[in-house]
């Protein structure tokens, strides 16, 4: 008799597939938030498995800040084409143009916070009743408290102190009209698990995760890609460097890491030996001790 034992990656995969199927069964119009970053790519890959051989029964929604890495957009479009997925786009630029939000100014201007309005508007416009996200509990302290099925009121707000208890693998997605849910199928994955799974499953990811030469500048000890979206201070001089990105977000808030890692094996080795968290390169989290909790309460993902 052999032992029925699962490796940690296979157990996580199994849990995530179960969650994705529960989402499909409990909601009318669930939609996968898709940024072209590795976490949303892994979610999509898990959805392919969960519904095989049928198509993924979700639309993809990209909340587009307009400050994108070109490589991420190219990747997004190729994936949509390959799998015949339906892509919806919510544009922060449109939110600005229509006066829904005010663009931040100054050197630290970022469209990160503005995304929340665009996201909530898009969910309403496309009648999304459950937004599936690639958020992980290991990313940040406030996220560590998030449920897999996370309830949002009619204003899109999260009430962290009054969350529904979530037991075993029973998920309660009941809601009133106007309310919606966020679902996080890879809640229990760590950054390392995601990389190992990408390697194990040979999942394609945008090339900017791998080491490449790029024009960058340094601000507060973090390297940023130089682009027309960034306003440089006089003392900030761009220079060329071999870097890679550990996360892919809006260009104005995603820092690069000084890294020669050009294969998945090298990235995994780097992640294993790194001494700062993934979000350590994210300017958006550095605003205060509760920066993430505050944004999440308002409806951020």
Rounded Cα–Cα distance for residues 238 and 258 (Å): 15
State how beta strands 239-245 and 255-258 pair: antiparallel
Residue 65 beta carbon to other proteins: minimum distance, rounded to whole angstroms: 24
Measured from the CB atom, the residue of 248 and 291 that comes closer to other proteins is 291
Binding residues (CB under 8 A) for other proteins: these are 3-15, 17-18, 21-22, 24-25, 48-55, 137-138, 140-145, 160-161, 163-170, 172, 174-176, 187-188, 190, 192-193, 196, 200, 265, 268-269, 272-277, 280, 289-290, 293
Residue 207 beta carbon to other proteins: minimum distance, rounded to whole angstroms: 21
The token pair that represents 243 in the structure block? 């870097």
Measured from the CB atom, the residue of 72 and 85 that comes closer to other proteins is 85
Measured from the CB atom, the residue of 62 and 279 that comes closer to other proteins is 279
Measured from the CB atom, the residue of 104 and 154 that comes closer to other proteins is 154
Q: Could you write out the three-class secondary structure of the chain?
A: CCCCCCCHHHHHHHHHHHHHHHHHHHCCCEEEECCCCHHHHHHHHHHHHHHCCCCCCCEEEEEECCCCCHHHHHHHHHHHHHHCCCEEEEEHHHHHHCCCCCCCCCCCCCCCCCHHHHHHHHHHHCCCCEEECCCCCCCCCCHHHCCCEEEECCCCCCCHHHCCCCCCCCCCCCCCCCCEEEECCCCCCCHHHHHHHHHHCCCCCCHHHCCEEEEEEEECCEEEECCCCCCCCCCCCCEEEEEEECCCCCCCCEEEEECCCCCHHHHHHHHHHCCCCHHHHEHHHHHCCCHHHHHHHHCCC
Residue 70 beta carbon to other proteins: minimum distance, rounded to whole angstroms: 29
Residue 131 beta carbon to other proteins: minimum distance, rounded to whole angstroms: 18
Measured from the CB atom, the residue of 2 and 233 that comes closer to other proteins is 2
Residue 137 beta carbon to other proteins: minimum distance, rounded to whole angstroms: 5
Residue 151 beta carbon to other proteins: minimum distance, rounded to whole angstroms: 8
Measured from the CB atom, the residue of 80 and 271 that comes closer to other proteins is 271
- Provide the CB-side half-sphere exposure for 227 (13 A, CA): 16
Residue 192 beta carbon to other proteins: minimum distance, rounded to whole angstroms: 7
Residue 40 beta carbon to other proteins: minimum distance, rounded to whole angstroms: 18
Measured from the CB atom, the residue of 99 and 168 that comes closer to other proteins is 168
The token pair that represents 232 in the structure block? 């440089």
Q: Supply the Cα-derived Rg of the chain in whole angstroms.
A: 19
Measured from the CB atom, the residue of 15 and 64 that comes closer to other proteins is 15
């Amino acid at each position: 008799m052999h032992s029925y034992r699962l490796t940690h990656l296979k157990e996580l995969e199994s849990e995530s597939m179960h969650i994705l199927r529960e989402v499909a069964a409990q909601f009318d119009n669930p939609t996968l938030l898709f940024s072209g970053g590795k976490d949303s790519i892994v979610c999509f890959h898990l959805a392919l498995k969960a519904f095989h051989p049928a198509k993924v029964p979700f639309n993809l929604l990209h909340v587009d800040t307009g400050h994108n890495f070109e490589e991420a957009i190219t990747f997004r479009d190729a994936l949509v084409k390959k799998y015949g997925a339906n892509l919806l786009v919510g544009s922060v630029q449109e939110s600005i143009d229509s006066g829904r939000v005010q663009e931040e100014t100054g050197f630290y201007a970022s469209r990160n916070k503005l995304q929340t309005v665009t996201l909530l508007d898009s969910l309403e416009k496309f009648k999304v009743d459950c937004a599936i996200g690639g958020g992980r509990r290991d990313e940040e302290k406030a996220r560590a408290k998030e449920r897999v099925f996370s309830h949002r009121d009619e204003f899109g707000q999260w009430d962290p102190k009054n969350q529904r208890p979530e037991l075993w693998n029973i998920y309660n997605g009941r809601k009133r009209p106007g309310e919606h849910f966020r679902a996080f199928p890879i809640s229990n994955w760590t950054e390392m698990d995601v990389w190992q799974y990408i390697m194990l499953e040979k999942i394609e990811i945008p090339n900017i995760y791998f080491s490449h030469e790029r024009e960058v500048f340094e601000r507060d000890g973090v390297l940023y890609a130089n682009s027309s979206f960034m306003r440089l201070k006089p003392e900030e001089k761009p220079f060329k460097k071999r870097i890679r990105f550990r996360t892919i977000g809006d260009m104005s808030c995603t820092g690069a890491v000084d890294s020669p890692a050009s294969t998945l094996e090298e990235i995994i080795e780097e992640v294993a030996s790194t001494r700062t968290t993934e979000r350590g390169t994210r300017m958006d989290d550095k605003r205060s001790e509760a920066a993430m909790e505050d944004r999440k309460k308002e409806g951020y993902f």
